[in-house]
Amino acid sequence: MKTVVASTLVLLMAGAIAPAAYAQSDTQLTDKQLAHDVRVAEARSGVGMSHVFVFAHSGRVMLIGWVPELEHVSRAERSALSVPGVTSVDNRLSPDGGSLGSH
């Protein structure tokens, strides 16, 4: 009888913990997918992405790094905002002044 009660308690606790653990990893996966989707959208729009980092968290996207031309800064923000799931963009990109090719 003690074994049945203990087994039942273990199953109930596992059932309560598993969805929470799954939700956490699902959110992390969604953030990674969103960051990937932003990178793809920016590359397709012609933004030089070789020195750009994209971070996503709950729909908020942060762009950090250098782009080859000043026009790419605003283009990157517009591209990121066009991705489904993006709610805001913190654009911390700066133009490199053409020295990316010399590194």
State the average pLDDT over residues 13-18: 48
What is the rounded distance in angstroms from the CA atom of residue 27 to the CA atom of residue 36?
14
How many domains would you assign to the chain?
Answer: 1
Tokens 């923000």 correspond to 77
The pLDDT of residue 48: 87
The pLDDT of residue 22: 47
Angle between helices 2-44 and 70-81 (to 10 degrees): 140
Give the domain extent around 59: 2-102
The pLDDT of residue 26: 61
C-alpha pair distances (Å), 29 with each of 55, 56, 63: 12, 10, 19
The pLDDT of residue 27: 64
Q: For 38-91, what is each residue's pLDDT tens digit? A: 999 999 999 988 899 999 999 999 999 999 999 999 999 999 999 999 999 999
- pLDDT reading at 23 higher than 70: no
